[in-house]
Structure 1
Amino acid sequence: MNEKVVLLHGYHKKKSDMQVLKENLEKLGYQIILVELPLTFKTIKKAGKIFKNKLHNIRLKLKKGEKINLAAHSSGGLVLRNYLAELEDKSYIKRVVLIATPNSGSRLAAKSNKYLPFFTKIFKTLDSIVPDNLEEIKLSSGEEIEIGAIAGTKSNLFLGKLLKGANDGRIEVNSVKADFLTDFIMLPYGHKEIHYQFKTAKAVACFFQNGNFKSLKNN
């Protein structure tokens, strides 16, 4: 398989949080690279600059004709969208999968910003995903690269009770959905577990291979 996969973790996590997904995708034949970013005290925009440098170094090591697939969990997906929006040459990017990414922002982050403003001032990644603050980030609209998204529907976390409609305990399904997506699928998992599931890895691989989730939806 003449392509690699770069995995990016979400808020307040390290690259080790993507280890299970890495191992599952390796079982499906992919070569995986884990990237770690300061997605706790840095804004999405600042973390994105670090990501840009790391991807540049990865790109320099690609073989002729080799491409990169990108996948991220939660707010890491916004870093990917920011990267794509600012990337002029996208020829080496194949496809992108966003897992439980708050494409329309996080209602919980908005509540935190309203009632505990000191909290989001410290944890700047959280501040970046307040819906009103997303306008400060340049985000790809998926016009040049096929982007798929996976949303969880198992609201098994306490904070999920503060959300309206289907959610994964942290992020609402309607926030993961977006008009720019090539395809979208829902899986019955919570926010903290969705990227640990083999079915999620199969969904990621399915999109990388086909640009859609059709084979999974039909099962």
Structure 2
Amino acid sequence: MKEKVILLHGYYKKKNDMQVLKENLTKLSYQVILFELPLSFKTIKKAGLIFKNKVQKLKLELAEDEKINFVAHSSGGLVIRNYLAEIEDKSHINRVVLIATPNCGSSLAVKGKKYLPFFTKIFKTLDSIVPTELAKLQLSKGDDIEIGAIAGTKNNLLLGKLLKDANDGRIEVDSVKADFLSDFITLPYGHKEIHYQLETAEAVDCFLQKGKFNC
């Protein structure tokens, strides 16, 4: 049996959105745990406090020298980066994989804040991923933890038509890609489906084991 993996969903989703990925990773011999956070009406910072408490409880159950991997979809990845920035002891963490995470912020969130400001005031997670707001969080850049990211390239969603550059229908590829990543790949899937794919699970497995997506 391989290490434990904590899976974290994205904006406006619940933990069952990660169920398919859980099943795929379980088949690859991981012990998978689903976390659920209020990633709709709470900021990344406030959701991060809940996440930190959940991880702290799990740490108490770890065997000596046992490590945890973190894998997240979309804005859930920003919660993980916030967690990494806020803790000093990272000895319990192996590696991190971010799937379709807007590491550089969301262009759609910018448009939402500009044209529908009441919307981002209600859905505070969206406001958190506006680049100017995201920069204030000073999220971890993986200085002492290997972080890999997977971006989708299939623009099959209506809102994706508002984006000029390559995107997955929600998040631009260049927003997922970042200088601090240990490795980065693209897969031909849309934002709402990329984490359901066996190919994605296999790429996650490669990175968690080798620190790279190409095994």
Structure 1 match to 2:171: 171
User: What does residue 64 of structure 1 align with?
Assistant: 64
Q: Does the aligned pair in 1 maintain the 2:44–2:128 contact within 8 Å?
A: yes
**Whole-angstrom CA distance in 2 between matches of 1:57 and 1:20:** 25
Q: TM-score, normalised by structure 1?
A: 0.97
What RMSD in Å do the two structures reach over aligned CA positions? 0.7
Structure 1: 4+ residue segments shifted above 3 A: none
What is the alpha-carbon distance in structure 1 between the residues aligned to residue 10 and residue 116 of structure 2?
Answer: 21
**Identical counterparts, % of pairs:** 75
Specify the alignment match of 2:143 in structure 1: 143
SS of alignment partner, residue 203 of structure 1: helix
Match of 2:134 in 1: 134
Structure 2 length-normalised TM: 0.99
State how far apart, in whole Å, the 2-side matches of 1:164 and 1:61 are. Answer: 46
Query: What is the number of residues matched between the two proteins?
Result: 215
Alignment of 1:65-214 (within 5 A): 65-214=65-214
| SS of match in other structure, 1:184 | strand
CA distance in 2, matches of 1:129, 1:175: 11
Unmatched segments (≥5 aa) in structure 1:
none
Q: Is the Cα contact below 8 Å between 1:177 and 1:184 reproduced in 2?
A: yes
Per-residue CA deviations over 1:151-204 (Å, capped at 9, x if unaligned) read 000000011110011100000000000000000000000000000000000011
**Comparing 131-140 with 115-124, which one deviates more in the overlay?**
131-140
* Structure 2 unaligned spans of 5+: none
Asked whether the equivalents of residues 9 and 73 of structure 1 are also in contact (C-alpha less than 8 Å), the reply is yes
| TM-aligned CA deviation for residue 138 of structure 1 | 2.8
**Structure 1 position 3, deviation (Å):** 1.8
2:149–2:183 CA contact under 8 A, matched in 1: yes
Q: What is the CA–CA distance in structure 1 between the aligned matches of 2:188 and 2:2, rounded to whole Å? A: 32
Give CA-to-partner distance per residue, 1:79-111, whole Å, 9 cap, x none: 000000111100010000000000000000000
